[in-house]
């Protein structure tokens, strides 16, 4: 089974129905979640940061909805992923990938994932992954 990694922007678009991108990501998100997903704790902190203005109970409930998904593999940021992230940063920073983006690549490499749901066009420069972006 190939797990899809879901970038923070797709989680945000999916949960925030006010955003115009929501309608484009809904079906893709539901399909990926059914089939199996992987996410780093770093990405989930990005999602939490976006929703930080929600009432504390709602923020916690929203994040728990993600972490409780039965098809989710949640990967902690550790020294091995950090080292791999630094390697990716040295390779891809010139195409616009930042440190958190490289954590995504390192996490994907760790679990053998090649599919990434993201609206970040910089990932299109990484030949080893399949970027899935339904937003037009």
Q: In this predicted model, what pLDDT tens digit does every residue of 55-79 receive, in sequence order?
A: 989 999 999 999 999 999 999 999 9
Q: The tokens of 75 are what?
A: 């990967």
Residue 24 covered by a domain: yes
Tell me the average pLDDT across 2-30: 96
Residue 101 covered by a domain: no
Q: What is the rounded average pLDDT for all residues in the chain?
A: 96
Residue 20 covered by a domain: yes
Residue 48 phi/psi, 5° resolution? -60, -40
Residue 50 covered by a domain: yes
Q: The tokens of 4 are what?
A: 């899809």
Residue 25 — very low, low, confident or very high, per pLDDT cuts 50/70/90?
very high
CB 35 within 8 A of CB 61: no
pLDDT at 90: 97
pLDDT at 56: 86
Residue 45 covered by a domain: yes
pLDDT over 80 at 94, yes or no: yes
For residue 130, the number of C-alpha atoms closer than 13 Å in the C-beta half-sphere is 9
- Can you point out the beta strands (E) in 32-124? 37-40, 72-75, 115-117
**What is the residue range of 59's domain?**
4-75+114-132
pLDDT at 45: 98
- Can you point out the beta strands (E) in 1-134? 4-6, 37-40, 72-75, 115-117, 130-132
Q: What is the domain count for the chain?
A: 1
For residue 37, the number of C-alpha atoms closer than 13 Å in the C-beta half-sphere is 26
Tell me the average pLDDT across 15-19: 94
pLDDT at 1: 57
The model carries a pTM of 0.95
Q: What is the pLDDT of residues 111-133, one digit of tens each?
A: 999 999 999 999 999 999 999 99
Residue 104 covered by a domain: no
Residue 65 covered by a domain: yes
Residue 68 covered by a domain: yes
d(CA 32, CA 9): 15
pLDDT at 117: 98
């Amino acid at each position: 089974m190939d797990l899809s990694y879901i970038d923070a922007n797709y989680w945000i678009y999916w949960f925030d129905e006010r955003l115009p991108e929501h309608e484009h990501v809904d079906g893709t998100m539901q399909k990926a979640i059914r089939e199996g997903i992987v996410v780093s704790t770093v990405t989930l902190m990005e999602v939490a940061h976006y929703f930080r203005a929600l009432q504390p109970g709602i923020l916690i409930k929203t994040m728990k909805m993600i972490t409780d998904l039965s098809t989710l593999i949640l990967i902690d940021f550790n020294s091995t992923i950090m080292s791999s992230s630094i390697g990716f940063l040295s390779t891809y920073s010139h195409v616009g990938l930042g440190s958190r983006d490289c954590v995504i690549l390192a996490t994907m490499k760790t679990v053998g994932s090649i599919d990434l749901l993201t609206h970040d066009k910089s990932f299109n420069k990484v030949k080893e992954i399949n970027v899935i972006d339904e937003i037009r």
